[in-house]
Amino acid sequence: MSDPVEQFLDQCSACDQCSTVCPFLEKHGEPSDIIANRPQLSFLCTNCTGCDRRCPLDLSPSRALFATKERLIREGRVPVKAAEALKGARSFAERGHRSPFVRYDGTRTAFWPGCSLAGTSPEAVTLTRGILSEALGEDIGLILDCCFDPLFQMGDTVPVREAVSRIRDRVRGYRIERIIVGCANCRKVFDLYPIGVRVEYVLEVLPQDLLKKVPENDLYLHYPCPFYHVDGIRERARAILANAVEEVDDQRIPACCGLGGSLGSQDPELAARFAERVTMEAYGASIVTACMGCVNTFLKRDRETYHILDLITGAKPRARAVSSAKKWANRLMLAKGKI
């Protein structure tokens, strides 16, 4: 099989259509020129895949840009700001992957909320476990761990594979047979690097008629980037809202909030353009999304935003973004079973 980067460069017509849906490409130019002549800029790609859906030749600029990141890391040619972002991502992932922030309950089925959900809304985590236990008719344990997706998004895949190998051993050691994840990024990572057990996303498992809270405002449904990696997830999210809301406006093509690939650590102004694109499309509607990272991003822009699990479980939504220190404190309390 040919190299994905070379294959893309051979076939790309440089039509620039993808730049119309991506603030990164709009600012820096079409992807074949970036890859061939300014490859270090590939670290500013958020991996949202919007460019893939606009390409008239059905190519994957996002895959080529991601492969370029991987190559630059292997060759030790990472620009300064990207290297700093990688260091921060590695520190975050490693902390969430070790004691005292790790927890594995020895149950047959376990809920893996993911780093952001566990840190931002431990109430939603606890309530979701209860709903899953009732829906499935069994005790649902809790797993707190980090899948190393922040590093994956930057193209640093070697430590991701190593972390997933350790997770696989942990899961096997606790004899867990099924994991329900609350983070679509975790689902994406475990699809790419299997952990040896059945892994499902929470919206695939929960009944569609569970919505307990419906905001009074119009709703705009934003799909997190990894929703475009799993078939049926977007339709499932929309169906859950549509059961209780007369009209739901939703996102048509991938639209990153600006967090992908640690963009905010490298170019905050560009990251803000991504977030603004989503909030402008939502107009005055309240935003509903399934990613707590996206929730915090939109809250920082003073937009009323709900995680879909807030609406399903009745958990108290946030009026403002949650600080990093508070997230770690919440995760520690969950890990110790004090929430």
- Both 293 and 230 in a single domain? yes
Considering the domain architecture, whether residues 190 and 329 belong to the same structural domain is answered as: yes
In a domain, 33, yes or no: yes
Residues 329, 189 share a domain: yes
Domain stops at, among 43, 78, 113? 78
Enter the pTM of the model.
0.94
Record the tokens describing residue 238, joined without a space.
């929309």
pLDDT of residue 66: 97
Amino acid at 21: V
Using the Cα atoms of residue 215, residue 221, residue 227 and residue 230 in order, give the sign of their dihedral.
Answer: positive
Q: Which residues pair with 249 in a beta bridge?
A: 220
Q: What is the DSSP string of 272-324?
A: HHHHHHHHHHHTTSEEEES-HHHHHHHHTTT--EEEHHHHHH-PPPPSSPPPH
- Are 165 and 307 found together in one domain? no
The string of pLDDT tens digits covering residues 273-328 is 999 999 999 998 999 999 999 999 999 999 999 999 999 999 999 999 999 999 99
Do 104 and 196 lie in one domain? The reply is: yes
Residue 88 lies in a domain: no
Positive or negative torsion for Cα 273, 202, 227, 115: positive
Domain limits for position 27: 4-78
Is residue 318 domain-resident?
Answer: no
Apex 195 CA angle, 257 and 236, nearest 5:
45
Q: How far apart are CA 152 and CA 232, in angstroms?
A: 23
Q: What is the pLDDT of residues 175-225, one digit of tens each?
A: 999 999 999 999 999 999 999 999 999 999 998 788 877 888 889 999 999
